[in-house]
Amino acid sequence: MARSRLMAKLDAAIAAAANPIEANCLRAERAGLLARQGQLEAARTQIDELNAQLAWQPNLPLRAWLALADGLHVHYSALDRGAQTSIEQAYMLAQATESLTRLHALAAAWLANLAFVDDDTLRMAALLREAFATAGPEHHGARARAALVAGCAYHFAADSARAQPWYEASRRHAIAEGDETHLSALMHNQAALRASRARLALLFDDDHGDAAHADAVVHALMGAESIGHYDAGVGTASLGSLVPMLRAQVLTAQAQWSAALALFDNHFEAALADGLARQAPCLLADRAWCEWNAGQPRKAQVLAAAAQQALSLPCDIDDRAMATARLAQVYAALGDAGAAQRHREASQAHYAAHRSQQQRIVVLLDDALAGTDPAQV
Query: Domain holding 341: CATH number?
Result: 1.25.40.10
180 is in which domain, residue-wise? 5-368
The answer to whether residue 196 sits within a structural domain is yes
The answer to whether residue 73 sits within a structural domain is yes
Q: Specify the pLDDT at position 220.
A: 66
What's the Cα-to-Cα distance from 106 to each of 50, 133, 201, 235, 303, rounded to whole Å?
A: 20, 11, 35, 23, 41
Task: Give the residues of the chain that fall short of pLDDT 70.
Answer: 1-3, 80, 206-221, 223-239
The answer to whether residue 376 sits within a structural domain is no
Q: Specify the pLDDT at position 1.
A: 46
Number of compact structural domains in the chain: 1
The answer to whether residue 119 sits within a structural domain is yes
Q: Specify the pLDDT at position 226.
A: 65
| pTM: predicted TM-score of the whole model, two decimal places | 0.93
The answer to whether residue 203 sits within a structural domain is yes
The answer to whether residue 18 sits within a structural domain is yes
Q: Specify the pLDDT at position 217.
A: 67
Q: Specify the pLDDT at position 273.
A: 87
